[in-house]
Amino acid sequence: GPASTSWSSVAGGIPASASLAITTQGRLYAWGANAVGQLGDNTLVGKSSPVLVSGPASTSWSSIACSTYHGLGITTAGRLYAWGYNGNGQLGDLTTVDKSSPILVSGPASTSWSSIASDGGTTSLAITSIGRLYAWGYNGFGQLGDSTTVSKSSPILVSGPASTSWSSVAGGDTYVSLGITTAGRLYAWGYNAGGELGDNTQVGKSSPVLV
C-alpha cells in the first residue's frame, strides 16, 4: 500500500473477490479481482496492489464489507455506498446494473447507517444508527427476512420481532442471514435444508426465527 500507511480495518478473503481496507485517516483502498467493478476504482481491471476506491471527494470511511462480487462502505457521516455486481439488486440503487465506483444506496430518507454485512455475493444487510435492520438483493430463500421470497433492489425492513433493536448482522455463503439484537438474542433466517438456522428444523424461514 501507500508508504507509511497505517490501517484501521479490513474486509475480504472470499475466493475471486476484492480485498478492502481503510486507513487510519479514513481512506478506502481495494485490490484483487475486478471483473464487475468490485474494486470501485472506475475500471474493470484487476489490481495486485491497493488502489484508492473512487468514492465521493474527501469522503472518510468508517466501515466496510464485501462479498465475492460487490463491496459496501459506510462513511463517517453515516452514508451507505455500494459498488460492483448488481444482477440481484444487491447494490440497493433501484437497478440491476453493475457499478464500478461507489453509488449511494437508496435507503429511507436521511437514514444514518452504523453497520453492514453481505453474504457470498447476492444479498446486502445493514443496520441504521437507531437499530433498524434492512436487507436487499436476492431473496430466493427468504434471506432478506421480509416474509417473502421476492428479490429487492433497494433496502426493505427485516420483519423481526416488534420494536426489535439490532446491534450486529452477518450473512452466510448459503443464503442465510443472522442478526443479534441489542438485548443479546440471536435470530436467523433464509435457507435451512442443513439446519443452518439453528431452530431445530430443516425448513427455510423468510423472517427471523430465534436460534
Output the nine-digit C-alpha cell for 171: 450473512
Q: Which residues pair with residue 156 across a beta bridge?
A: 135
Which of 34, 32, 67, 72 has the alpha carbon at shortest distance from 55? 72
Output the nine-digit C-alpha cell for 45: 481491471
- The amino acid that residue 73 corresponds to is G
* 180 in Cβ contact with 167 (< 8 Å): yes
pTM summary value: 0.95
* 8 in Cβ contact with 23 (< 8 Å): yes
Query: Average pLDDT over the chain, rounded to whole?
Result: 94
What's residue 173's pLDDT?
80
Sheet holding 99-104, edge to edge: 61-66, 70-75, 80-84, 99-104
Q: pLDDT for 147-169, tens place per residue?
A: 999 999 999 999 988 889 999 99
Q: How far apart are CA 75 and CA 53, in angstroms?
A: 13
The total number of residues shown for the chain amounts to 211
Position 57 confidence tier, pLDDT thresholds 50, 70, 90: confident
Q: Strand (E) positions, the chain?
A: 7-11, 18-23, 28-32, 47-52, 61-66, 70-75, 80-84, 99-104, 113-118, 123-128, 133-137, 152-157, 166-171, 176-181, 186-190, 205-210
| 127-144 burial: b if 16+ Cβ within 10 Å, else e | bbeeebbbbbbbbbbbbb
Please give the DSSP secondary-structure letter assigned to residue 17: -
145 pLDDT above the threshold of 70: yes
**Out of 8-12, 102-106, 195-199, 203-207, which region has the weakest mean confidence (pLDDT)?**
8-12
* 147 in Cβ contact with 141 (< 8 Å): no
What's residue 209's pLDDT?
97
Exposed, middle or buried, 42 (CB in 10 Å: 0-12/13-18/19+)? middle
121 pLDDT above the threshold of 80: yes
> Pick the residue with more confidence: 141 or 13?
141
